[in-house]
Amino acid sequence: MTEVIKIAVDAMGGDGSPKKIIDGINHHFSNNGNTFYQIFGDNDKIQKLIPKTLDKNAYEIIHTNEVVEGTDTPLEAAKRGKKTSMWLAIESVKNKKTDIVISAGNTGALLVIAKLNLKMIENIDKPALSALWPNKKGMSVVLDLGANIECSEKNLVDFSLMGASLFNALYPNEKAKVALLNIGSEEMKGNETIKNTYQKLSEKKNQDYEFKGYIEGNYLMNGDVNVIVSDGFTGNVALKTAEGTATFITDELKKALSGTLLGKISSLLNISNLKKFKKRLDPRLYNGAIFIGLDSPVIKSHGGTDYIGFSNSLSVCDKIVRGNLIKKIKENIN
């Protein structure tokens, strides 16, 4: 029998919580039975939402009325104290009662509270925020997406090693191919930090990944590389641009296929292909960002996602724990 994964869940963060959180847990459990959920939040609200289909032995509710608000600054969130659902969930993984922690709450607060509670992996200076992006051949790991606005070459080398470890944990049958996001593919392009990082990664020999050099923004989705590394400023801009472009394309396609009789007929004739297209760009399928570099894994679900998106981020939790992510990072760094 597969070992049970224990997930600490902040049930009070994000839009529509705790309902979408509990619905997401129920949906996830129906497809992943070997999971235990330690749920942190308002017991009265949560109990009313627990469906009969969820095995009573699969969860435990830890009651608290205190919540980190979406409008809190990271400092305000930390000052709210150690009784918030977010803090208690992170404390659970710190104390090894659970294997991984997830929240759909305030991103800045989650990073600060996680850093206050959890140690960094030895020899890593900064954690990075990583996420999954679709490409033509499968999926890519992208980091950093906003945790660190400025990065040294050591940080970028660390991100490369951690990103490769994350990819290997999620997709053990594929080879990690690492590239640095840059303004050009030539060696002389970019600032001194990224050029020095290129040199260091070119000199490093690592059997766990292949270094592919630079990648430009217009090739991110080609699938020739699957671990894309940048500083947090550049990565965040790239992420928001990609999200906005995907939304623009789907919105415009809907208008084109529903605005005229010919468009409606065309959409009916191509309904199967349109469903595939919609699914490919569905952000819920790629939900679940990872704060990587801490000695326990911390997952950030998008605050605006629905229960399907939250369920998918719980699946990311499963893969990370079963893939021994932290162990892989420690081996790579050392």
Whole-number pLDDT of residue 58: 93
- Mean pLDDT, residues 60-71: 92
Whole-number pLDDT of residue 204: 79
Domain boundaries, the chain: 1-124+293-334, 128-284
CA dist 299 and 291 (Å) reads 6
CA dist 17 and 183 (Å) reads 40
Q: Specify the residue for token string 């150690």.
A: 82
Nearest CA among 187, 114, 124, 115 for reference residue 152: 124
* The two structure tokens encoding residue 297: 């894994």
Identical topology for domains 1-124+293-334 and 128-284: yes
- Mean pLDDT, residues 225-251: 84
Nearest CA among 1, 11, 7 for reference residue 316: 7
Whole-number pLDDT of residue 265: 63
What is the secondary structure of 200-262 as a DSSP string? HHHH---TTEEEEEEE-GGGTTSSS-SEEE--HHHHHHHHHHHHHHHHHHHHHHHHHHHSSHH
For residue 66, pLDDT over 50 is answered with yes
Whole-number pLDDT of residue 1: 40
Name the most confidently modeled range: 130-134, 182-186, 202-206. 130-134
Residue type for 2, please? T
What is the secondary structure of 109-163 as a DSSP string? HHHHHHHHHSPBPTT----EEEEEEEETTEEEEEE-SSS-SS--HHHHHHHHHHH
> Looking at the domain covering 1-124+293-334, what would its CATH class be?
alpha beta
CA dist 88 and 82 (Å) reads 7
Whole-number pLDDT of residue 257: 64
pLDDT 10s digits, 321-334: 998 899 888 888 77
Among 15-19, 31-35, 228-232, the range scoring the smallest mean pLDDT is 31-35
For residue 22, pLDDT over 90 is answered with yes
Whole-number pLDDT of residue 197: 92
Average of per-residue pLDDT values in the chain: 87
Whole-number pLDDT of residue 84: 94
* pTM, two decimal places: 0.85
Domain 128-284: CATH architecture, name and number where available: 3-Layer(aba) Sandwich (3.40)
Please tell me which residue, 169 or 188, carries the higher pLDDT value: 169
Nearest CA among 161, 155, 131, 330 for reference residue 243: 131
Confidence tier at 272 by pLDDT (50, 70, 90)? low
pLDDT 10s digits, 250-265: 777 777 667 666 656 6
Whole-number pLDDT of residue 296: 93
